[in-house]
């Protein structure tokens, strides 16, 4: 079995927009969510960015609220997608993994999106935490709507 060595993320534009809006809505508090999609070889295609409650409610770290996390996972599965990654925001720093982020790395098979500030602008960057390197991303068209609005 070949080691997961992500070399490209394809992100649906609408999901990028939703994750950015979620980060902005945090107003100084880290937000987090999970990413649903498909991984084929070393390419991860993301079709869903679903918010999860940060139960710590702090500006510099997050911990997923379990009930909220499982309900997001159910949405991903109900849409025949896989859990392929996680996103979180850095309200006061660039989208570069903190020491804590690297310690929390789930190890293999996941991509991590960080939304943080560069020169006052909110920016997103994908990371392979295990290998401590950024992953290139390309935006794709919108084939799906926001999942959590179409599922009750």
Tell which residue, 60, 56, 116, 109, has the closest CA to residue 85: 109
Does residue 30 have an active-site annotation? yes
For residue 71, what is the enclosing H or E element?
A: helix 66-78
Q: Please tell me whether residue 12 binds Zn ion under the rule CB under 5 A.
A: no
The correct pick among 38, 42, 79, 98 for binding Zn ion (CB under 5 A) is 98
**3 vs 99, beta carbon nearer Zn ion:** 99
**98 vs 123, beta carbon nearer Zn ion:** 98
φ/ψ (deg, to 5) at 124: -115, 145
How far apart CA 149 and CA 10 sit, in angstroms, is: 22
The correct pick among 101, 112, 125, 127 for binding Zn ion (CB under 5 A) is 101
Which residues form the catalytic set? Answer: 30
| List of residues contacting Zn ion (CB under 5 A) | 98, 101
């Amino acid at each position: 079995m070949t080691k997961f060595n992500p070399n490209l993320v394809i992100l649906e534009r609408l999901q990028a927009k939703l994750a950015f809006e979620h980060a902005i809505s945090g107003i100084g508090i880290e937000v987090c969510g999970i990413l649903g999609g498909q991984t084929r070889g070393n390419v991860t295609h993301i079709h869903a960015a679903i918010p999860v409650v940060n139960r710590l409610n702090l500006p510099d770290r997050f911990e997923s609220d379990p009930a909220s996390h499982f309900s997001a996972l159910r949405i991903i599965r109900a849409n025949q997608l896989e859990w392929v990654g996680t996103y979180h925001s850095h309200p006061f720093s660039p989208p570069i993994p903190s020491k804590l982020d690297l310690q929390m790395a789930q190890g293999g098979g996941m991509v991590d999106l960080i939304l943080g500030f560069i020169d006052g602008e909110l920016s997103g960057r994908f990371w392979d935490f295990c290998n401590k390197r950024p992953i290139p991303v390309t935006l794709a068209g919108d084939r799906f709507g926001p999942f959590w609005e179409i599922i009750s």
